[in-house]
Amino acid sequence: DYAPDACYINDLKGKFIDGNKAAERVIGYKREELIGSSFLKLKLLSLADISKAVKLLAKNLIGLPSGPDEFVLNRKDNSKVIVEISTYPVKIKGKTLVLGIARDITERKKAEQQIKQSYEKLQRTMETTINTISKIIETRDPYTAGHQNRVSQLAVAIAQEMKLPEDKIEGIRIAALVHDIGKINIPAEILSKPSKLNEMELSLIKNHPKTGYDILKTIDFPWPVARIVLQHHERLDGSGYPQGLKGKKILLEAKIMGVADVVEAMSSHRPYRPSLGIDKALEEISQNRGIFYDPEVVDTCLKLFKEKGFKFES
């Protein structure tokens, strides 16, 4: 009677034979009201749960335990209680009966729902913040409007085709949407300059991954967003910037974004040149496969365009 979980015994037809104090508390019926009755007779089960209960009883009939399984029970006062029920066939005086243990998880489910709602709200807030940052960058560099979004589309498609975990794919998506945030520190006239950049202007451009990293590193993302942004212009042979990293020292996410960035940039219009077209972009990554760009990432990108019909959405 002092057990925290509801315990009851019923026969193989579902009729209650006994129950403890916790059972009374959980479903709101006194022991004497339970004995001789059943889940169905007392209408404890919702219609959706009756078939589930029948399956559990079928297991017990062949001597197998069941559960824990989740049920929503109708209490005597018509309120609802969420329980996890486990059942065990037992022999009492030579007769096969069923011992049921029902744990009240109502408060736990409410807490889980609140956590889920808070997480979803946080996700929406983060998404809005990321999109706002992306739009701010585009106002500074109107020629690349939509560039980050398109890079995100391709980077995510590559990651999905490579069968990366969903969590890693989401990190790539978020990082791609803000990968050029460091350009906010570059004068607009340099970003939109139609002629060749001089050495000083080029050094400012090459510093944008580091500036982006410095901005993003203070945000507690659940993914290495700042490091992906820092490394998206690194190349396998060490010829990239800003750190000149080589091979395995470059994050896979950054390798994916590097390829997506090059393909999108070459196939789009720029202030200093018209679009070179998607064929030229794919030729660039093919020729430099294993030199600048990760071979698996390149192969996956080529497959997306040539076999899967990938196209950028506007």
All structural domains of the chain with their residue ranges: 6-105, 134-306
Q: 82-86, 140-144, 198-202, 274-278 — which is least confidently predicted?
A: 140-144
Q: Write the CATH number of the domain with boundaries 134-306.
A: 1.10.3210.10
Provide the residue type at 265 as one letter: A
The arithmetic mean of pLDDT across residues 215-222, rounded, is 90
**HEC readout, 248-288:** HHCCHHHHHHHHHHHHHHHCCCECCECCCCHHHHHHHHHHC
pLDDT tens column, 138-149: 777 766 668 899
pLDDT at 122: 85
Q: Percent of the chain scored above 90 by pLDDT?
A: 62
The arithmetic mean of pLDDT across residues 41-49, rounded, is 87
> What global pTM score does this model have?
0.68
Distance CA 64, CA 258 (A): 56
pLDDT tens column, 156-193: 999 999 999 999 999 999 999 999 999 888 888 888 78
- For 45, which DSSP code? B
Mean pLDDT of the chain: 90
Distance CA 295, CA 279 (A): 18
Domain 6-105 has CATH 3.30.450.20: yes
pLDDT at 257: 97
pLDDT band of 2, cuts 50, 70, 90: low
